[in-house]
Amino acid sequence: MKSTGIVRRVDKLGRIVIPMELRKVLNISNRDAIEIFSQDNTLILRKYEPSCIFCGNATNVTTYKGINICPECIMRMQKYIKKNAV
CATH of the domain at 40: 2.10.260.10
**What mean pLDDT value characterizes the chain?**
90
What's the start-to-end Cα distance of the chain, in Å?
Answer: 53
> CB–CB of 77/58 below 8 Å?
no
Are 30 and 58 part of one and the same domain?
A: no
Q: Which uninterrupted H or E stretch holds 44?
A: strand 42-47
Are 35 and 55 part of one and the same domain?
A: no
Are 2 and 37 part of one and the same domain?
A: yes
pLDDT over 90, % of the chain: 59
Are 64 and 43 part of one and the same domain?
A: no
Model pLDDT, residue 58: 86
Cα 52-53-59 angle, rounded to 5 deg: 5
Model pLDDT, residue 86: 65
Are 1 and 26 part of one and the same domain?
A: yes
Are 24 and 65 part of one and the same domain?
A: no
| Domain count for the chain | 2
**Intervals of the chain under pLDDT 50:** none
Domain of 86? 50-86
Model pLDDT, residue 47: 85
pTM metric for this prediction: 0.57
